[in-house]
Amino acid sequence: MIKLLLIFILIFSSLNAEEFTGDKKTACEVIMCLTASGNRPQECEPPIKKFFKIRAKKWKDTIKKRKKFLRKCPVGEGNEDNKELKKLTSFLASLDGSCEEKDLNKPEINREMDNNESLVDELRVPPKLNKSCQGLVNSVFTNMKPKYTCRYTKWYTRSDWNRGYSLESISKAEYDAIEDPAQKVYTEENYNELEDGTVLERTYFRKTMVEKNCWVIR
């Protein structure tokens, strides 16, 4: 982290010493934004977007093009700091995506066949980090600490995901044992018509909110 801090100081001092424009400025912004911990400022979106648009037909050529772009940030020319910057740019060029809370909390989709032989979608926030984020977390160049905060890793139907909660059918005893009133749901239906009136049947449910913001980065 000392090396990374030194690189940041050099970048900031370079930006202050000379008003960079174009790719020089963008390259420096990308380096700082990709290695920043926590949620990045809105100003980071344009440079990062431009960086990940740099592509070639082959992945190895994409990495080469991205390295070349990042090294337009003129920091530590000809000294030891330049070596560290080269290591950093080589690492960043190999990423296939950024690591932000909004990206980590995007649902993954599992498509399966139901009993009627129809394809149905199940969704959840993935409990494991994507490859790029795991690389950033393990890197000596960052200090990211993502944490999965949700209690469940269960899959939700698309309808449950869209409405924000699921309903689990339970017994009357299980229903009565629930302490949180917000989790208690029941329905009443006409069950049987008798001479002395209508008998109602209750169906009991446990309501569970769908957790959509599971990842927090500190």
**What pLDDT band is residue 163 in, cutting at 50, 70 and 90?**
very high
- Check whether residue 187 and residue 155 sit in a common domain: no
Per-residue tokens: 187: 């329905």
Boundary residue ending a domain (77, 98, 119): 98
Distance, in Å, from the CA atom of 37 to the CA atom of 103, rounded to the nearest integer, reads: 14
pTM higher than 0.95: no
Give tens-digit pLDDT for 92-148.
898 887 788 888 999 999 987 666 667 889 999 999 998 888 888 887 777 788 999
Boundary residue ending a domain (72, 98, 124): 98
Distance, in Å, from the CA atom of 21 to the CA atom of 15, rounded to the nearest integer, reads: 10
Total domains in the chain come to 3
- Check whether residue 151 and residue 168 sit in a common domain: no
The residue range of the domain holding 135 is 103-159+212-217
So what's the pLDDT on residue 184? Answer: 94
User: Cβ contacts of residue 86 below 8 Å, gap of 6+?
Assistant: 71
Boundary residue ending a domain (98, 114, 138): 98
